[in-house]
Amino acid sequence: MSVAKTLTVVAVAAAFSAGMYLGASQDVPVNITASSGGASYGGGFKKDAEPVKIAGKSAVIERSTAGQTHVINPGDLIMDAVKLANPGDTIQVMPGSYHETVYIDKDDIRLVGVIKEGKRATLDGQGKLNDAVLYSGNNIVVENLLITKYKGNAIMGQAGNNFEIRNNIIIDTGVYGIFPQLGKNGIVSHNVISGIEDAAIYVGMSDNIQVSHNEVFDSVAGIEIENSRHAIVENNYVHNNTGGILAFITPGLPIKTTFDVIIRNNFVVNNNHVNFGAPGSMVAGIPSGVGVLIMAADEVIVEGNIITGNKTAGIIITDHHSAPNATIDPESDPSPDRVMILDNLMDNNGYDAHDMVKAYMLTQFKQGNPDIVRIGESKDSCIINRHRYVTVGIDHWAQCDFTNTHSVVTYILDEPVAPRVISPQERGEVAYLGICTGCHTYTGRMIGPPMQTIQAMYMNRPQDLADWIAKPTKIRPDYPEMPPQNYLDKETRLAVANYILGLKK
Ligand code: HEC
Protein backbone atom coordinates (compact mmCIF):
# COMPACT_ATOMS: atom_id res chain seq x y z
CA MET A 1 0.00 0.00 0.00
CA SER A 2 1.31 3.43 -0.84
CA VAL A 3 0.72 4.65 2.73
CA ALA A 4 3.22 2.12 4.00
CA LYS A 5 5.70 3.18 1.40
CA THR A 6 5.37 6.85 2.31
CA LEU A 7 5.86 5.93 5.94
CA THR A 8 9.13 4.21 5.29
CA VAL A 9 10.39 7.27 3.50
CA VAL A 10 9.34 9.50 6.38
CA ALA A 11 10.85 7.22 9.00
CA VAL A 12 14.15 7.40 7.18
CA ALA A 13 13.89 11.17 6.90
CA ALA A 14 13.05 11.48 10.59
CA ALA A 15 15.99 9.33 11.64
CA PHE A 16 18.24 11.40 9.43
CA SER A 17 17.10 14.69 10.87
CA ALA A 18 17.29 13.66 14.52
CA GLY A 19 20.26 15.06 16.32
CA MET A 20 21.49 17.18 13.47
CA TYR A 21 20.80 20.53 15.04
CA LEU A 22 22.46 20.32 18.37
CA GLY A 23 25.03 22.98 17.56
CA ALA A 24 26.16 25.77 19.89
CA SER A 25 23.60 28.34 18.81
CA GLN A 26 20.66 26.02 19.22
CA ASP A 27 18.88 28.04 21.92
CA VAL A 28 18.65 31.30 20.01
CA PRO A 29 15.10 31.82 18.81
CA VAL A 30 14.79 31.98 15.05
CA ASN A 31 13.33 35.16 13.68
CA ILE A 32 10.11 33.94 12.05
CA THR A 33 8.35 36.23 9.66
CA ALA A 34 4.61 35.82 9.98
CA SER A 35 3.00 34.46 6.84
CA SER A 36 -0.30 36.18 7.61
CA GLY A 37 -1.03 39.89 7.71
CA GLY A 38 1.51 42.43 6.46
CA ALA A 39 1.92 43.70 2.91
CA SER A 40 0.77 41.76 -0.11
CA TYR A 41 2.29 41.40 -3.53
CA GLY A 42 0.78 44.26 -5.48
CA GLY A 43 0.82 42.58 -8.87
CA GLY A 44 1.29 44.36 -12.17
CA PHE A 45 -1.19 47.11 -11.53
CA LYS A 46 -1.82 49.66 -8.82
CA LYS A 47 -4.54 48.80 -6.42
CA ASP A 48 -6.12 51.94 -5.06
CA ALA A 49 -9.13 50.43 -3.34
CA GLU A 50 -9.34 49.79 0.39
CA PRO A 51 -7.13 46.94 1.56
CA VAL A 52 -9.00 43.73 0.84
CA LYS A 53 -9.19 40.82 3.19
CA ILE A 54 -7.80 37.79 1.43
CA ALA A 55 -9.57 34.52 2.15
CA GLY A 56 -7.44 32.10 4.08
CA LYS A 57 -4.76 34.66 4.82
CA SER A 58 -6.54 36.91 7.24
CA ALA A 59 -5.27 36.69 10.77
CA VAL A 60 -7.95 35.29 13.01
CA ILE A 61 -6.51 37.31 15.82
CA GLU A 62 -3.99 40.09 16.11
CA ARG A 63 -1.14 38.40 17.93
CA SER A 64 1.07 40.28 20.30
CA THR A 65 4.81 39.84 19.89
CA ALA A 66 5.42 40.67 23.54
CA GLY A 67 5.23 37.08 24.80
CA GLN A 68 8.20 34.91 25.58
CA THR A 69 9.64 32.39 23.17
CA HIS A 70 10.47 28.94 24.52
CA VAL A 71 12.88 26.91 22.39
CA ILE A 72 12.59 23.14 22.52
CA ASN A 73 15.35 20.82 21.30
CA PRO A 74 15.32 17.06 20.69
CA GLY A 75 15.51 15.35 24.07
CA ASP A 76 13.36 18.05 25.68
CA LEU A 77 9.63 17.67 26.25
CA ILE A 78 7.38 20.10 24.42
CA MET A 79 4.95 19.59 27.27
CA ASP A 80 7.46 21.13 29.71
CA ALA A 81 7.34 24.33 27.68
CA VAL A 82 3.55 24.26 27.59
CA LYS A 83 3.51 24.04 31.39
CA LEU A 84 5.78 27.09 31.67
CA ALA A 85 4.10 29.10 28.94
CA ASN A 86 1.81 32.06 29.58
CA PRO A 87 -0.81 33.39 27.20
CA GLY A 88 0.97 35.25 24.39
CA ASP A 89 3.99 32.92 24.38
CA THR A 90 5.45 31.03 21.45
CA ILE A 91 6.89 27.54 21.65
CA GLN A 92 9.46 26.91 18.94
CA VAL A 93 10.23 23.25 18.39
CA MET A 94 13.57 22.63 16.68
CA PRO A 95 13.94 19.94 13.99
CA GLY A 96 14.27 16.40 15.32
CA SER A 97 12.04 13.68 16.74
CA TYR A 98 9.66 14.02 19.65
CA HIS A 99 7.50 11.27 21.11
CA GLU A 100 4.73 12.74 23.22
CA THR A 101 1.21 14.04 23.43
CA VAL A 102 1.06 17.82 23.70
CA TYR A 103 -2.00 19.10 25.54
CA ILE A 104 -2.54 22.87 25.49
CA ASP A 105 -5.20 24.02 27.93
CA LYS A 106 -4.19 27.70 27.92
CA ASP A 107 -5.19 30.55 25.63
CA ASP A 108 -2.99 32.42 23.13
CA ILE A 109 -0.25 29.86 22.63
CA ARG A 110 1.62 29.46 19.39
CA LEU A 111 3.16 26.04 18.78
CA VAL A 112 5.59 26.38 15.91
CA GLY A 113 7.80 23.75 14.37
CA VAL A 114 11.05 25.26 13.15
CA ILE A 115 11.89 24.11 9.64
CA LYS A 116 15.58 24.27 8.83
CA GLU A 117 16.72 23.38 5.35
CA GLY A 118 13.68 21.19 4.92
CA LYS A 119 14.06 19.32 8.23
CA ARG A 120 11.02 19.52 10.45
CA ALA A 121 10.18 19.11 14.08
CA THR A 122 8.61 15.65 13.97
CA LEU A 123 6.06 14.33 16.42
CA ASP A 124 6.29 10.57 16.06
CA GLY A 125 3.79 8.53 18.05
CA GLN A 126 5.68 5.34 17.09
CA GLY A 127 2.37 3.56 16.59
CA LYS A 128 1.79 3.65 20.37
CA LEU A 129 0.61 7.12 21.32
CA ASN A 130 -2.92 8.29 20.62
CA ASP A 131 -2.84 12.00 20.02
CA ALA A 132 -0.08 14.36 18.96
CA VAL A 133 -1.53 17.80 19.72
CA LEU A 134 -4.71 18.45 21.67
CA TYR A 135 -5.79 21.98 22.53
CA SER A 136 -8.68 23.27 24.54
CA GLY A 137 -7.41 26.85 24.70
CA ASN A 138 -8.59 29.73 22.50
CA ASN A 139 -6.48 31.63 19.95
CA ILE A 140 -4.14 28.71 19.36
CA VAL A 141 -1.76 28.42 16.41
CA VAL A 142 -0.24 25.06 15.41
CA GLU A 143 2.09 25.22 12.46
CA ASN A 144 5.03 23.76 10.57
CA LEU A 145 5.09 20.36 12.29
CA LEU A 146 5.46 16.90 10.84
CA ILE A 147 3.21 14.46 12.65
CA THR A 148 3.18 10.71 12.06
CA LYS A 149 2.27 7.29 13.49
CA TYR A 150 -0.30 8.26 16.09
CA LYS A 151 -3.44 6.19 16.65
CA GLY A 152 -6.06 8.85 17.39
CA ASN A 153 -5.59 12.38 16.06
CA ALA A 154 -2.72 14.50 14.79
CA ILE A 155 -4.23 17.84 15.86
CA MET A 156 -7.53 18.02 17.70
CA GLY A 157 -9.19 21.19 18.95
CA GLN A 158 -11.57 20.74 21.86
CA ALA A 159 -13.85 23.77 22.03
CA GLY A 160 -11.20 26.43 21.30
CA ASN A 161 -12.16 29.51 19.24
CA ASN A 162 -10.03 31.55 16.79
CA PHE A 163 -7.60 28.80 15.79
CA GLU A 164 -5.08 28.60 12.97
CA ILE A 165 -3.70 25.25 11.89
CA ARG A 166 -1.38 25.44 8.94
CA ASN A 167 1.67 24.20 7.09
CA ASN A 168 1.70 20.84 8.84
CA ILE A 169 2.55 17.53 7.21
CA ILE A 170 0.51 14.70 8.67
CA ILE A 171 0.96 11.04 7.75
CA ASP A 172 -0.89 8.07 9.20
CA THR A 173 -2.18 9.43 12.49
CA GLY A 174 -5.15 7.14 13.05
CA VAL A 175 -8.77 8.24 13.09
CA TYR A 176 -8.49 11.93 12.22
CA GLY A 177 -5.76 14.20 10.88
CA ILE A 178 -6.83 17.75 11.75
CA PHE A 179 -9.98 17.83 13.83
CA PRO A 180 -11.25 21.11 15.26
CA GLN A 181 -14.31 20.21 17.31
CA LEU A 182 -16.75 22.79 18.65
CA GLY A 183 -14.75 25.84 17.60
CA LYS A 184 -15.74 29.17 16.11
CA ASN A 185 -13.70 31.26 13.71
CA GLY A 186 -10.82 29.09 12.56
CA ILE A 187 -8.53 28.44 9.63
CA VAL A 188 -7.10 25.14 8.41
CA SER A 189 -4.77 25.86 5.52
CA HIS A 190 -1.69 24.65 3.64
CA ASN A 191 -1.52 21.26 5.33
CA VAL A 192 -0.61 18.00 3.59
CA ILE A 193 -2.40 15.02 5.09
CA SER A 194 -2.50 11.34 4.13
CA GLY A 195 -3.22 7.83 5.37
CA ILE A 196 -6.13 8.65 7.72
CA GLU A 197 -8.76 6.05 8.67
CA ASP A 198 -11.68 8.45 8.95
CA ALA A 199 -11.24 12.06 7.83
CA ALA A 200 -7.99 13.83 6.96
CA ILE A 201 -9.64 17.14 7.87
CA TYR A 202 -12.73 16.89 10.05
CA VAL A 203 -14.51 20.09 11.00
CA GLY A 204 -16.95 19.01 13.70
CA MET A 205 -19.77 21.08 15.28
CA SER A 206 -18.04 24.35 14.37
CA ASP A 207 -18.89 27.73 12.84
CA ASN A 208 -17.11 30.26 10.58
CA ILE A 209 -14.40 28.03 9.21
CA GLN A 210 -11.99 28.35 6.31
CA VAL A 211 -10.42 25.17 4.92
CA SER A 212 -8.14 26.11 2.06
CA HIS A 213 -5.01 25.16 0.12
CA ASN A 214 -4.65 21.74 1.72
CA GLU A 215 -3.63 18.51 0.01
CA VAL A 216 -5.45 15.46 1.35
CA PHE A 217 -5.03 11.96 -0.04
CA ASP A 218 -4.90 8.20 0.69
CA SER A 219 -7.55 8.63 3.41
CA VAL A 220 -11.12 7.37 3.77
CA ALA A 221 -12.63 10.87 3.77
CA GLY A 222 -10.64 13.85 2.48
CA ILE A 223 -12.41 16.85 4.01
CA GLU A 224 -15.52 16.57 6.19
CA ILE A 225 -17.74 19.47 7.23
CA GLU A 226 -19.99 17.88 9.81
CA ASN A 227 -22.72 19.43 11.96
CA SER A 228 -21.15 22.82 11.15
CA ARG A 229 -22.21 26.13 9.60
CA HIS A 230 -20.67 28.98 7.56
CA ALA A 231 -17.72 27.05 6.19
CA ILE A 232 -15.73 27.61 3.02
CA VAL A 233 -13.74 24.74 1.55
CA GLU A 234 -11.65 26.10 -1.30
CA ASN A 235 -8.52 25.60 -3.34
CA ASN A 236 -7.78 22.18 -1.90
CA TYR A 237 -6.27 19.22 -3.77
CA VAL A 238 -8.30 16.18 -2.79
CA HIS A 239 -7.23 12.95 -4.44
CA ASN A 240 -7.18 9.18 -3.98
CA ASN A 241 -9.44 9.12 -0.94
CA THR A 242 -12.52 6.89 -0.70
CA GLY A 243 -14.69 10.02 -0.69
CA GLY A 244 -13.28 13.47 -1.47
CA ILE A 245 -15.22 16.33 0.15
CA LEU A 246 -18.18 15.64 2.43
CA ALA A 247 -20.74 18.02 3.90
CA PHE A 248 -23.16 16.23 6.15
CA ILE A 249 -25.09 15.84 9.35
CA THR A 250 -24.17 12.97 11.63
CA PRO A 251 -27.38 12.06 13.43
CA GLY A 252 -27.34 11.80 17.22
CA LEU A 253 -24.82 14.58 17.91
CA PRO A 254 -25.82 17.43 20.21
CA ILE A 255 -25.59 20.04 17.44
CA LYS A 256 -28.12 19.11 14.82
CA THR A 257 -27.47 21.11 11.66
CA THR A 258 -25.07 21.67 8.79
CA PHE A 259 -25.76 24.59 6.47
CA ASP A 260 -24.14 27.40 4.49
CA VAL A 261 -21.13 25.52 3.15
CA ILE A 262 -19.30 26.71 0.04
CA ILE A 263 -17.21 24.09 -1.73
CA ARG A 264 -15.36 25.93 -4.48
CA ASN A 265 -12.31 25.82 -6.69
CA ASN A 266 -11.02 22.49 -5.40
CA PHE A 267 -9.40 19.70 -7.38
CA VAL A 268 -11.41 16.58 -6.53
CA VAL A 269 -9.66 13.89 -8.48
CA ASN A 270 -9.59 10.06 -8.58
CA ASN A 271 -11.05 9.46 -5.15
CA ASN A 272 -11.20 5.71 -5.62
CA HIS A 273 -9.30 4.40 -2.59
CA VAL A 274 -10.64 1.22 -1.01
CA ASN A 275 -12.59 2.04 2.12
CA PHE A 276 -10.53 1.17 5.21
CA GLY A 277 -12.78 2.96 7.73
CA ALA A 278 -13.56 1.32 11.08
CA PRO A 279 -16.40 -1.15 10.47
CA GLY A 280 -19.78 0.32 11.31
CA SER A 281 -18.53 3.92 11.37
CA MET A 282 -20.32 6.51 9.27
CA VAL A 283 -17.53 6.81 6.74
CA ALA A 284 -17.25 3.03 6.38
CA GLY A 285 -20.53 3.32 4.46
CA ILE A 286 -19.07 5.59 1.75
CA PRO A 287 -18.69 3.72 -1.50
CA SER A 288 -15.26 4.06 -3.01
CA GLY A 289 -15.20 6.59 -5.85
CA VAL A 290 -17.20 9.57 -4.60
CA GLY A 291 -15.99 13.09 -5.39
CA VAL A 292 -18.34 15.25 -3.31
CA LEU A 293 -20.94 13.87 -0.92
CA ILE A 294 -23.74 16.00 0.48
CA MET A 295 -25.81 14.19 3.07
CA ALA A 296 -28.64 15.94 4.88
CA ALA A 297 -26.72 19.26 4.85
CA ASP A 298 -28.59 22.37 3.65
CA GLU A 299 -27.46 25.33 1.55
CA VAL A 300 -24.36 23.68 0.17
CA ILE A 301 -22.90 25.42 -2.88
CA VAL A 302 -20.59 23.52 -5.23
CA GLU A 303 -18.79 25.88 -7.59
CA GLY A 304 -15.72 26.00 -9.78
CA ASN A 305 -14.33 22.62 -8.80
CA ILE A 306 -12.52 20.25 -11.10
CA ILE A 307 -14.16 16.92 -10.35
CA THR A 308 -12.71 14.11 -12.42
CA GLY A 309 -12.03 10.37 -12.33
CA ASN A 310 -14.25 9.53 -9.34
CA LYS A 311 -15.57 6.12 -10.31
CA THR A 312 -18.91 6.03 -8.45
CA ALA A 313 -20.02 9.62 -9.09
CA GLY A 314 -18.74 13.20 -9.15
CA ILE A 315 -21.35 14.51 -6.70
CA ILE A 316 -23.81 12.49 -4.62
CA ILE A 317 -26.67 14.21 -2.82
CA THR A 318 -28.46 11.98 -0.35
CA ASP A 319 -30.67 11.96 2.73
CA HIS A 320 -30.27 10.00 5.94
CA HIS A 321 -32.89 7.44 4.92
CA SER A 322 -30.84 6.38 1.92
CA ALA A 323 -27.42 6.34 3.60
CA PRO A 324 -25.88 3.17 4.98
CA ASN A 325 -24.86 3.29 8.67
CA ALA A 326 -27.04 6.36 9.38
CA THR A 327 -29.60 6.28 12.15
CA ILE A 328 -32.48 8.75 12.16
CA ASP A 329 -32.39 11.64 14.61
CA PRO A 330 -35.83 13.15 15.08
CA GLU A 331 -34.20 16.53 15.71
CA SER A 332 -32.16 16.58 12.50
CA ASP A 333 -33.84 17.21 9.19
CA PRO A 334 -32.71 14.17 7.18
CA SER A 335 -32.90 15.77 3.73
CA PRO A 336 -30.31 17.95 1.97
CA ASP A 337 -32.27 21.05 0.96
CA ARG A 338 -31.29 24.09 -1.10
CA VAL A 339 -28.23 22.46 -2.64
CA MET A 340 -26.81 24.74 -5.36
CA ILE A 341 -24.58 23.38 -8.08
CA LEU A 342 -22.91 26.12 -10.11
CA ASP A 343 -20.35 25.63 -12.84
CA ASN A 344 -17.87 22.83 -12.24
CA LEU A 345 -15.65 20.90 -14.59
CA MET A 346 -16.74 17.28 -14.39
CA ASP A 347 -15.33 14.52 -16.51
CA ASN A 348 -14.81 10.78 -16.40
CA ASN A 349 -16.85 10.24 -13.23
CA GLY A 350 -19.22 7.36 -12.51
CA TYR A 351 -17.49 4.90 -14.84
CA ASP A 352 -17.84 2.10 -12.29
CA ALA A 353 -21.06 3.17 -10.61
CA HIS A 354 -22.76 1.00 -8.04
CA ASP A 355 -25.31 -1.46 -9.43
CA MET A 356 -27.99 0.30 -7.43
CA VAL A 357 -27.13 3.61 -9.09
CA LYS A 358 -27.21 1.97 -12.51
CA ALA A 359 -30.59 0.42 -11.77
CA TYR A 360 -31.85 3.80 -10.55
CA MET A 361 -30.66 5.42 -13.77
CA LEU A 362 -32.51 2.83 -15.83
CA THR A 363 -35.75 3.63 -14.05
CA GLN A 364 -35.15 7.32 -14.91
CA PHE A 365 -34.32 6.51 -18.57
CA LYS A 366 -30.79 7.82 -18.09
CA GLN A 367 -27.70 6.56 -19.85
CA GLY A 368 -23.99 7.04 -19.39
CA ASN A 369 -21.70 7.44 -16.40
CA PRO A 370 -23.17 9.68 -13.74
CA ASP A 371 -21.53 12.94 -12.72
CA ILE A 372 -24.34 13.91 -10.35
CA VAL A 373 -26.57 11.48 -8.45
CA ARG A 374 -29.42 12.55 -6.18
CA ILE A 375 -31.01 9.88 -3.96
CA GLY A 376 -33.82 10.65 -1.53
CA GLU A 377 -35.51 13.95 -0.95
CA SER A 378 -33.90 17.37 -1.63
CA LYS A 379 -36.14 20.45 -1.59
CA ASP A 380 -35.56 23.80 -3.33
CA SER A 381 -32.24 22.81 -4.87
CA CYS A 382 -30.92 24.33 -8.10
CA ILE A 383 -28.26 24.00 -10.76
CA ILE A 384 -26.95 25.92 -13.77
CA ASN A 385 -25.77 24.42 -17.05
CA ARG A 386 -27.12 21.01 -16.16
CA HIS A 387 -26.71 19.96 -19.76
CA ARG A 388 -23.00 19.56 -19.25
CA TYR A 389 -23.31 16.59 -16.95
CA VAL A 390 -24.78 13.12 -16.85
CA THR A 391 -27.23 13.40 -13.97
CA VAL A 392 -29.85 11.33 -12.29
CA GLY A 393 -32.54 12.56 -9.93
CA ILE A 394 -32.21 16.31 -10.51
CA ASP A 395 -34.30 16.90 -13.61
CA HIS A 396 -36.89 18.70 -11.52
CA TRP A 397 -34.33 21.04 -9.90
CA ALA A 398 -34.74 24.71 -10.76
CA GLN A 399 -32.22 26.82 -12.60
CA CYS A 400 -30.26 28.83 -9.97
CA ASP A 401 -30.80 32.56 -10.29
CA PHE A 402 -27.15 33.41 -9.59
CA THR A 403 -23.92 32.09 -11.05
CA ASN A 404 -21.11 32.61 -8.55
CA THR A 405 -20.16 33.24 -4.93
CA HIS A 406 -17.73 36.06 -5.59
CA SER A 407 -19.32 38.33 -3.06
CA VAL A 408 -18.50 35.92 -0.25
CA VAL A 409 -14.79 36.35 0.30
CA THR A 410 -14.54 34.52 3.60
CA TYR A 411 -16.60 33.55 6.61
CA ILE A 412 -13.72 34.34 8.94
CA LEU A 413 -14.95 37.17 11.13
CA ASP A 414 -13.44 40.64 11.17
CA GLU A 415 -13.03 40.49 14.92
CA PRO A 416 -11.95 37.42 16.86
CA VAL A 417 -14.81 35.92 18.83
CA ALA A 418 -14.64 35.93 22.59
CA PRO A 419 -12.71 33.03 24.06
CA ARG A 420 -14.91 30.26 25.30
CA VAL A 421 -14.90 30.46 29.07
CA ILE A 422 -15.94 27.28 30.80
CA SER A 423 -17.53 27.53 34.22
CA PRO A 424 -17.08 24.59 36.61
CA GLN A 425 -20.72 23.53 36.10
CA GLU A 426 -20.19 23.30 32.36
CA ARG A 427 -17.05 21.22 32.54
CA GLY A 428 -18.72 17.87 31.93
CA GLU A 429 -20.84 19.16 29.10
CA VAL A 430 -17.98 20.88 27.28
CA ALA A 431 -15.74 17.82 27.62
CA TYR A 432 -18.55 15.68 26.20
CA LEU A 433 -19.17 18.05 23.28
CA GLY A 434 -15.55 18.84 22.64
CA ILE A 435 -14.07 15.36 22.99
CA CYS A 436 -16.39 12.38 23.34
CA THR A 437 -18.74 13.34 20.50
CA GLY A 438 -15.79 13.06 18.14
CA CYS A 439 -16.36 9.30 18.37
CA HIS A 440 -19.70 8.73 20.16
CA THR A 441 -23.25 9.75 19.32
CA TYR A 442 -26.22 9.21 21.58
CA THR A 443 -28.14 6.66 19.54
CA GLY A 444 -25.93 5.21 16.83
CA ARG A 445 -22.56 3.62 16.35
CA MET A 446 -19.85 6.08 15.34
CA ILE A 447 -16.22 5.17 16.07
CA GLY A 448 -17.32 4.03 19.53
CA PRO A 449 -20.59 2.52 20.80
CA PRO A 450 -23.70 4.67 21.38
CA MET A 451 -23.95 6.59 24.64
CA GLN A 452 -27.32 4.99 25.29
CA THR A 453 -25.58 1.63 25.61
CA ILE A 454 -22.91 3.15 27.85
CA GLN A 455 -25.57 4.70 30.11
CA ALA A 456 -27.17 1.31 30.59
CA MET A 457 -23.81 -0.25 31.46
CA TYR A 458 -22.69 2.40 33.93
CA MET A 459 -26.00 3.46 35.48
CA ASN A 460 -25.29 4.94 38.97
CA ARG A 461 -21.55 4.25 38.58
CA PRO A 462 -20.05 7.56 37.40
CA GLN A 463 -16.75 6.97 39.21
CA ASP A 464 -16.24 3.65 37.41
CA LEU A 465 -16.88 5.35 34.10
CA ALA A 466 -14.46 8.16 35.00
CA ASP A 467 -11.80 5.59 35.94
CA TRP A 468 -12.31 3.54 32.80
CA ILE A 469 -11.82 6.44 30.39
CA ALA A 470 -8.49 7.29 32.03
CA LYS A 471 -7.22 3.81 31.25
CA PRO A 472 -9.49 2.13 28.69
CA THR A 473 -9.03 -1.53 27.91
CA LYS A 474 -9.95 -3.28 24.71
CA ILE A 475 -13.47 -4.64 25.17
CA ARG A 476 -15.35 -5.08 21.90
CA PRO A 477 -13.66 -7.17 19.24
CA ASP A 478 -15.39 -5.29 16.41
CA TYR A 479 -14.39 -1.80 17.63
CA PRO A 480 -10.99 -0.13 17.78
CA GLU A 481 -9.45 0.60 21.16
CA MET A 482 -10.54 3.81 22.82
CA PRO A 483 -7.72 6.34 23.42
CA PRO A 484 -7.11 7.12 27.12
CA GLN A 485 -8.44 10.45 28.34
CA ASN A 486 -5.91 10.68 31.17
CA TYR A 487 -4.79 14.17 30.07
CA LEU A 488 -8.06 15.38 31.59
CA ASP A 489 -7.89 15.99 35.32
CA LYS A 490 -9.84 13.79 37.74
CA GLU A 491 -12.59 16.36 38.31
CA THR A 492 -13.21 16.77 34.58
CA ARG A 493 -13.35 13.01 34.07
CA LEU A 494 -15.93 12.64 36.82
CA ALA A 495 -17.87 15.64 35.50
CA VAL A 496 -18.08 14.17 32.02
CA ALA A 497 -19.10 10.78 33.45
CA ASN A 498 -21.93 12.40 35.39
CA TYR A 499 -22.94 14.41 32.37
CA ILE A 500 -23.09 11.34 30.14
CA LEU A 501 -25.16 9.35 32.63
CA GLY A 502 -27.70 12.17 32.69
CA LEU A 503 -27.94 12.54 28.90
CA LYS A 504 -31.38 12.23 27.34
CA LYS A 505 -30.52 12.74 23.67
C1 HEC B 1 -11.14 8.54 19.26
C2 HEC B 1 -12.44 7.99 19.52
C3 HEC B 1 -13.04 8.07 20.90
C4 HEC B 1 -13.16 9.17 21.73
C5 HEC B 1 -12.66 10.59 21.48
C6 HEC B 1 -13.87 8.73 22.88
N7 HEC B 1 -14.18 7.40 22.77
FE8 HEC B 1 -15.17 6.29 24.14
N9 HEC B 1 -14.94 4.63 22.98
C10 HEC B 1 -14.33 4.61 21.74
C11 HEC B 1 -14.29 3.26 21.26
C12 HEC B 1 -13.72 2.81 19.93
C13 HEC B 1 -14.90 2.45 22.26
C14 HEC B 1 -15.07 0.94 22.23
C15 HEC B 1 -13.83 0.31 22.87
C16 HEC B 1 -13.94 -1.16 23.06
O17 HEC B 1 -15.05 -1.67 23.20
O18 HEC B 1 -12.88 -1.81 23.08
C19 HEC B 1 -15.31 3.36 23.31
C20 HEC B 1 -15.96 2.95 24.46
C21 HEC B 1 -16.32 3.79 25.50
C22 HEC B 1 -16.96 3.36 26.71
C23 HEC B 1 -17.41 1.93 27.03
C24 HEC B 1 -16.62 1.31 28.14
C25 HEC B 1 -17.04 -0.10 28.45
O26 HEC B 1 -16.89 -0.48 29.63
O27 HEC B 1 -17.52 -0.80 27.55
C28 HEC B 1 -17.13 4.47 27.51
C29 HEC B 1 -17.72 4.55 28.88
C30 HEC B 1 -16.60 5.59 26.76
N31 HEC B 1 -16.11 5.14 25.55
C32 HEC B 1 -16.60 6.90 27.21
C33 HEC B 1 -16.01 7.95 26.54
C34 HEC B 1 -15.94 9.30 27.06
C35 HEC B 1 -16.53 9.76 28.37
C36 HEC B 1 -15.29 10.04 26.14
C37 HEC B 1 -14.94 11.52 26.21
C38 HEC B 1 -14.19 11.97 27.34
C39 HEC B 1 -14.92 9.16 25.05
N40 HEC B 1 -15.39 7.92 25.32
C41 HEC B 1 -14.19 9.56 23.94
C42 HEC B 1 -13.83 5.69 21.07
C43 HEC B 1 -13.70 6.96 21.58
pLDDT of residue 331: 82
What Cα–Cα distance (Å) separates residue 48 from each residue in 37, 45, 113, 144?
Answer: 18, 9, 37, 34
Closest atom of ligand 1 relative to the 488 alpha carbon? 38
Task: Tell me if 461 CB under 6 Å of ligand 1.
Answer: no
Task: Tell me if 438 CB under 6 Å of ligand 1.
Answer: yes
The mean pLDDT of 64-73, rounded to a whole number, is: 87
What Cα–Cα distance (Å) separates residue 320 from each residue in 197, 332, 386?
Answer: 22, 9, 25
Closest atom of ligand 1 relative to the 465 alpha carbon? 29
Closest atom of ligand 1 relative to the 475 alpha carbon? 18
pLDDT of residue 354: 83
Higher pLDDT residue, 330 or 467? 467
The mean pLDDT of 352-372, rounded to a whole number, is: 89
Closest atom of ligand 1 relative to the 476 alpha carbon? 17
Q: For all residues of the chain together, what is the average pLDDT?
A: 87
Task: Tell me if 454 CB under 6 Å of ligand 1.
Answer: yes
* Residue 452 CA to ligand 1 centre (angstroms): 12
Task: Tell me if 476 CB under 6 Å of ligand 1.
Answer: yes
* E strand segments, 228-354: 229-234, 237-239, 243-248, 259-264, 267-269, 290-295, 298-303, 306-308, 313-318, 340-341, 345-347
Task: Tell me if 469 CB under 6 Å of ligand 1.
Answer: yes
Task: Tell me if 483 CB under 6 Å of ligand 1.
Answer: yes
Contacts of 256 (CB under 8 A, 6+ apart): 227, 249, 329, 331, 332
State the SS3 of 32-57: CCCCCCCCCCCCCCCCCCCCCCCCCC
Closest atom of ligand 1 relative to the 174 alpha carbon? 1
* Residue 462 CA to ligand 1 centre (angstroms): 14
82-91, Cβ contacts within 8 angstroms, sequence gap of 24 or more: 82/106, 82/109, 85/109, 88/63, 88/64, 90/29
Count other C-beta atoms under 10 Å from residue 75's C-beta.
Answer: 11
Q: How do the domains of the chain map onto residue ranges? A: 1-22+60-174, 200-417, 424-501
Higher pLDDT residue, 438 or 310? 310
Task: Tell me if 14 CB under 6 Å of ligand 1.
Answer: no
Task: Tell me if 278 CB under 6 Å of ligand 1.
Answer: no
Looking at the chain, the whole-number percentage of residues with pLDDT higher than 70 is 88
| CATH superfamily, region 424-501 | Cytochrome c-like domain (1.10.760.10)
* Residue 446 CA to ligand 1 centre (angstroms): 10
For the stretch 234-293, pLDDT in tens is 999 999 999 999 999 998 888 999 999 999 999 999 999 999 998 877 788 899 999 999
* Residue 203 CA to ligand 1 centre (angstroms): 20
Count other C-beta atoms under 10 Å from residue 415's C-beta.
Answer: 10
The mean pLDDT of 496-500, rounded to a whole number, is: 95
For the stretch 79-92, pLDDT in tens is 999 999 999 999 99
For the stretch 4-54, pLDDT in tens is 443 334 333 333 333 344 444 457 777 665 555 555 554 433 434 333 444
* Residue 439 CA to ligand 1 centre (angstroms): 7
d(C-alpha 159, C-alpha 67), whole Å: 23
* Residue 448 CA to ligand 1 centre (angstroms): 6
Protein residue closest via CA to atom 3 of ligand 1 = 439
